Amino acid sequence: MDTATLKNIDKTVNQWLKEAHTLVYQCLQTDLTVEQKTSRLDLVTNVDKQVEQLLRKKISSLMPAAKIIGEENDHGQVKSMAGAVWFIDPIDGTMNFIKQHDDFAIMLALYIDNQPILGWIMDVAKNKIYHGGPQLGVWCDTKKIPVPADITLNEGLIELSASRLLTNEMHFMEIAKMSSGVRINGSAGISFIKVLEGKMVGYASKMKPWDFAAAKVLLETNKILVTTIDGKEIDMLLSSTVLSATASAHKQIVQLQQP
Ligand code: 2AM
Ligand code: CA
Ligand code: CA
Ligand code: CA
């Protein structure tokens, strides 16, 4: 796709996200309906559902032939990454959204033939959109984001998921001890933004494709590595324990996984 077309899509999606932002705060003024999915920790609200519906409609009118993988309507229908595939996480950090009305994100990504093309992460409470891709660079609204410094694990703060840290799977406690400190904020999107901005050396967590699709586009564009925690290429249709980190920290963390 040529750069002018990509810029147009980017601009259009930025508008969709502004509409979604308005929708979120309209819903918050009325009633928030919360339902359990698989457990009391796995929740969905009417806002998650309405935002996904809005974005699905927009994508279908912009690119009728594209496939869509969205968290709240995912039945595993998409079986291959051939052609245009969109990923939607309508509210990332639903628990933060419910409890804090803060630190939650809306994420979208476009892949074509399994290649990352464009990604968007909106920090909804701060009303900021992180967007771009390999052909456009990475932007926060209208400001270009520079490539973060390649610091080592011990020089930086690491973002880890609470669940993996508590069970100490994949050497998470060792990773934490080697770093300058651990942070856990409860939204993959917000954690990825911090890595993108160079505030965190990396982020690791078990995730589904809509949790990491947008971040993979943006982070890889700015030379942050995004792989499985043992350093392998991610399958965009499967859950993975995903590691995103500076090249130096990535090497150290992958080394810890060796038997
Ligand atoms: P979500 O809010 O969109 O579900 C912390 O819970 C982070 O991990 C959030 O970004 C959350 O995304 C994501 N996550 C992925 N799988 C999850 C699960 N099974 N339960 C809770 N959160 C999950
Ligand atoms: Ca969820
Ligand atoms: Ca999510
Ligand atoms: Ca979600």
Q: Please state the domain extents for the chain.
A: 3-144, 153-256
Q: Is 3-144's fold the same as 153-256's?
A: no
pLDDT at residue 210, rounded to an integer: 98
Rounded to the nearest angstrom, the distance between the alpha carbon of 186 and the centre of ligand 4 is 11
pLDDT in tens, 82-93: 999 999 999 999
Residue with the smallest CA separation from ligand 1 atom 20 is 42
Ligand positioned closest to the Cα atom of 97: 1
Q: Which ligand is nearest to the CA of 94?
A: 1
Please report, for residues 28, 42, 79, 153, 225, the alpha-carbon distance to residue 208 in angstroms, rounded to integers and kept in the order given: 26, 13, 15, 25, 18
245-258 mean pLDDT: 98
The per-residue pLDDT for 31 is 82
User: pLDDT > 90: what percent of the chain?
Assistant: 99
3.40.190.80, 3.10.580.10, 3.40.50.300, 3.90.1150.10: CATH of 153-256: 3.40.190.80
Rounded to an integer, what distance in angstroms lies between the CA atom of residue 128 and that of residue 126? 6
Question: Distance from the CA of 189 to the center of ligand 4, in angstroms?
Answer: 10
- Residue 244 has what pLDDT? 98
Q: Which atom in ligand 1 lies closest to the alpha carbon of residue 187?
A: 10
Residue 91 Cα, ligand 4 centroid: separation in angstroms?
4
- Ligand at minimal distance from the CA of 189 is 1
181 CA → ligand 1 middle, Å: 22
In this structure, the number of other CB atoms found within 10 A of the CB of residue 20 comes to 22
Among candidates 128, 190, 132, which has minimal Cα distance to 9?
132
Residue 120: which H helix or E strand, with range?
strand 115-123
Binding site for Mg(2+), by residue number, is 71, 89, 91-92, 211
Report whether residue 191 contacts ligand 1, using a CB cutoff of 6 Å: no
The pLDDT tens digits for 154-209 are 999 999 999 999 999 999 999 999 999 999 999 999 999 999 999 999 999 999 99
Protein residues placing their CB within 5 Å of the ion ligand 4: 71, 89, 91-92
**CATH classification code of 3-144:** 3.30.540.10
CA distance 135 to 2: 9
Query: For residue 57, is pLDDT > 90?
Result: yes
Give the pLDDT score at 257. Answer: 97
SS3 (DSSP) at 238 = coil
